[in-house]
């Protein structure tokens, strides 16, 4: 692989090393096609990154200002076009080196570059396929293996996460958490644990929703609902609000027990086989539920669920079933706008800063719907956040794997949020809520936080603004 330093750039003009590979404009380089056919280079033949998708990138640089790692470091190989250049080198026969993997690992997978790209480059597909290759073919250090094993032994399993609620509740209520935070010891001795400690939300006791909830009034649809992993364990009030909204808007809500993880965390981190197993189980669980739609209230989960057809395309027993399932998937805001309102909205006199979760805005293209729902609430004032396209640094488990740069991005986002002067931050992803809350506390700021579902639920039930503004970061 050519020297990484040779491909550094600070502006939209492609660096010489990138131009020299022939992987910018024009057809796919012959070397890449030959390597792809022979199975040499960094990648094996199992869903290797596609050379034709690599050749779509013309290295124009429109992605640079939206890429969080490029914004942080100004390093060409930590931009989307730089990573695509590295993928091209791998396809042309270069080995999967430590330096190459480091730049792939640094990508948050926020997909802001996909929105910004005028050429329609499928960077989402390229980085996902590349990460699966990395997890299969790159030997990680013992520390990296242990950390990733611990994360994926807990996070995708709702029951295991719920077991943490008791100890976490005691830790928070005893005052020990505040003492640890003031000491600063955890941050110096174990940055990963310090990150998890800072991210942990204040727990609230909420009963689990029943397996089926009937629509209020005339039934308009039957809706299956994902309860999620982190959402069900740490934000059960968001799920409860979601159920109430759907029922109020004329939906029967079907919530099978033991539905499990959707596989989003796994597929976004290159653990494709694991993600496929989760996907098959979820398809099996809901396939005979009679649902018209499948509703998701977590942005990262929704983006992966909508791609089940691609994820299981090679499985003859599931390919068609997964595609049919994916066609029914809707984000909560997406479905509510699609159905149209029937329930009465009561006034909520509150100023709201709406944060676009990356996998909702960029991966799913759902931007207008949440704003439309919020603006339809009487008395609510919606304010936009500066640098809305820059990720908050959560990105699934990226903030746990990369605590220092994630904190930088979180602080940047928190400053933009506080700069709106709004009294309430609203978003549609549990990871974003935890990440921004931690950053606001770090900066000594104060703002209430809520999921879009909680805001709409408060309006439908006539609870008033205090029900939301009491939830401080």
Query: Residue 455: exposed, middle, or buried by beta-carbon count in 10 A (0-12, 13-18, 19+)?
Result: buried
CATH number given to 345-469? 3.40.50
Q: How confident is the model at residue 1 (pLDDT cuts 50, 70, 90)?
A: very low
pLDDT in tens, 379-406: 999 999 999 999 999 999 999 999 999 9
H or E element in which residue 91 lies:
helix 80-91
| 257 alpha carbon, distance to own chain's centre | 24
Whole-number pLDDT of residue 40? 56
pLDDT over 70 for what percent of the chain? 91
Whole-number pLDDT of residue 472? 67
Judged by phi (left if over 0) then psi (alpha if -120 to 50, else beta), residue 340 lies in: left
Quick one: tokens of 237? 């009030």
C-alpha dist (Å) from residue 190 to 175, 184, 187, 400, 445? 20, 10, 6, 11, 25
Quick one: tokens of 441? 């506390």
Pairing relationship of beta strands 293-296 and 329-331 according to DSSP bridges: parallel
pLDDT in tens, 233-275: 889 999 999 999 999 999 999 999 879 999 999 999 999 999 9
Average pLDDT, the chain: 88
* 186-200, 286-300, 314-328, 354-368: segment of lowest average pLDDT: 186-200
Whole-number pLDDT of residue 315? 97
CA distance 217 to 272: 43
pLDDT in tens, 164-191: 888 887 877 887 877 877 777 777 777 7
Q: How confident is the model at residue 3 (pLDDT cuts 50, 70, 90)?
A: very low
> Does 470 score more than 80 pLDDT?
no
Same CATH topology for 212-337 and 345-469? yes
CB-CB contact of 395 with 431 (8 Å): yes
Q: What is the mean pLDDT of residues 204-220?
A: 88
Quick one: tokens of 42? 């960094």
Whole-number pLDDT of residue 6? 35
Quick one: tokens of 213? 């909830």
Domain chopping of the chain, boundaries? 4-137, 212-337, 345-469
CA distance 107 to 473: 27
Whole-number pLDDT of residue 473? 63
pLDDT over 90 for what percent of the chain? 75
The values of phi and psi at residue 187, to 5°, are -65, -35
**Closest among 297, 242, 232, 235 to 428, alpha carbons compared:** 297
Higher pLDDT, 134 or 1: 134
Higher pLDDT, 309 or 13: 309
Quick one: tokens of 284? 């099996």
> Does 307 score more than 90 pLDDT?
yes
Whole-number pLDDT of residue 435? 94
C-alpha dist (Å) from residue 141 to 71, 150, 334, 405, 468? 28, 14, 42, 20, 45
| 404 alpha carbon, distance to own chain's centre | 19
pLDDT in tens, 25-77: 334 444 544 444 444 588 999 999 999 999 999 999 999 999 999 999 999 99
Query: Residue 350: exposed, middle, or buried by beta-carbon count in 10 A (0-12, 13-18, 19+)?
Result: buried
Backbone CA torsion sign across 287, 237, 235, 300? positive
CA distance 330 to 297: 9
CB-CB contact of 194 with 430 (8 Å): no
> Does 278 score more than 80 pLDDT?
yes
CB-CB contact of 70 with 112 (8 Å): no
pLDDT in tens, 191-209: 777 788 778 777 777 778 8
**Closest among 337, 336, 329, 257 to 300, alpha carbons compared:** 329
pTM assigned to the model: 0.87
Whole-number pLDDT of residue 28? 42
pLDDT in tens, 134-158: 999 999 999 999 999 999 999 999 8
Q: What is the mean pLDDT of residues 367-385?
A: 97
Whole-number pLDDT of residue 165? 83
> Does 11 score more than 90 pLDDT?
no
CA distance 378 to 372: 12
CB-CB contact of 442 with 413 (8 Å): no
CB-CB contact of 198 with 438 (8 Å): yes
* 15-19, 68-72, 120-124, 131-135: segment of lowest average pLDDT: 15-19
Whole-number pLDDT of residue 48? 94
**Looking at the domain 212-337, which fold is it?**
Rossmann fold (3.40.50)
CATH number given to 4-137? 1.10.1060
> Does 366 score more than 80 pLDDT?
yes
Whole-number pLDDT of residue 24? 36
CB-CB contact of 437 with 449 (8 Å): yes
Whole-number pLDDT of residue 341? 96
Higher pLDDT, 285 or 258: 285
Whole-number pLDDT of residue 111? 96
Whole-number pLDDT of residue 173? 80
């Amino acid at each position: 692989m050519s020297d990484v330093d040779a491909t550094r750039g600070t502006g939209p003009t492609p660096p010489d090393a990138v131009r020299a590979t022939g992987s910018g404009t024009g057809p796919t380089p012959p070397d890449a096609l030959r390597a792809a056919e022979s199975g040499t280079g960094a990648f094996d033949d199992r869903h290797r990154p596609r050379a034709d998708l690599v050749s779509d990138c013309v290295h124009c640089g429109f992605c640079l200002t939206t890429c969080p790692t490029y914004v942080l470091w100004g390093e060409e190989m930590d931009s989307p076009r730089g990573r695509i250049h590295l993928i091209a080198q791998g396809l042309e026969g270069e080995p999967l080196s430590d330096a190459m993997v480091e730049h792939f690992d640094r990508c948050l997978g926020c997909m802001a570059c996909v929105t910004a790209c005028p050429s329609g480059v499928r960077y989402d597909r390229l980085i996902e396929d590349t990460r699966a290759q990395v997890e299969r073919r790159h030997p990680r250090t013992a520390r990296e293996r242990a950390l990733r094993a611990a994360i994926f032994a807990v996070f995708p399993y709702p029951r295991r996460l719920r077991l943490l609620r008791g100890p976490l509740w005691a830790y928070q209520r005893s005052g020990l958490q505040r003492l640890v935070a003031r000491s600063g010891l955890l941050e110096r001795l174990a940055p990963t644990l310090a990150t998890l400690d800072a991210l942990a939300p204040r727990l609230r006791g909420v009963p689990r929703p029943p397996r089926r909830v009937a629509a209020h009034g005339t039934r308009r649809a039957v809706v299956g609902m994902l309860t999620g992993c982190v959402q069900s364990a740490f934000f059960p009030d968001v799920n409860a609000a979601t159920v109430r909204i759907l029922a109020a808007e004329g939906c029967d809500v079907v919530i099978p027990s033991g539905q499990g993880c959707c596989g989003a965390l796994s597929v976004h981190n290159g653990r494709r086989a694991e993600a496929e197993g989760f996907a098959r189980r979820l398809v099996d669980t809901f396939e005979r539920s009679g649902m018209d739609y499948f509703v998701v209230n977590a942005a990262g989960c929704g983006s992966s669920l909508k791609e089940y057809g691609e994820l299981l395309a090679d499985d003859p027993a599931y390919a068609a079933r997964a595609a049919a399932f994916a066609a029914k998937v809707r984000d909560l805001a997406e479905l509510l706008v699609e159905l149209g309102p029937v329930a009465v909205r009561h006034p909520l006199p509150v100023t709201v800063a709406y944060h676009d979760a990356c996998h909702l805005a960029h991966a799913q293209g759902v931007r207008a719907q949440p704003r439309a729902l919020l603006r339809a609430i009487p008395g609510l004032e919606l304010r936009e956040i500066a640098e809305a396209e820059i990720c908050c640094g959560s990105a699934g488990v990226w903030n746990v794997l990369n605590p220092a740069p994630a904190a930088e991005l979180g602080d940047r986002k928190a400053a933009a949020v506080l700069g709106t002067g709004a009294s309430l931050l609203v978003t549609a992803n549990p990871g974003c809520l935890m990440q921004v809350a931690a950053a606001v506390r770090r900066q000594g700021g104060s703002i209430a936080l809520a999921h879009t579902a909680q805001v709409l639920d408060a309006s439908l039930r006539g609870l008033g603004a205090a029900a939301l503004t009491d939830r401080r970061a």
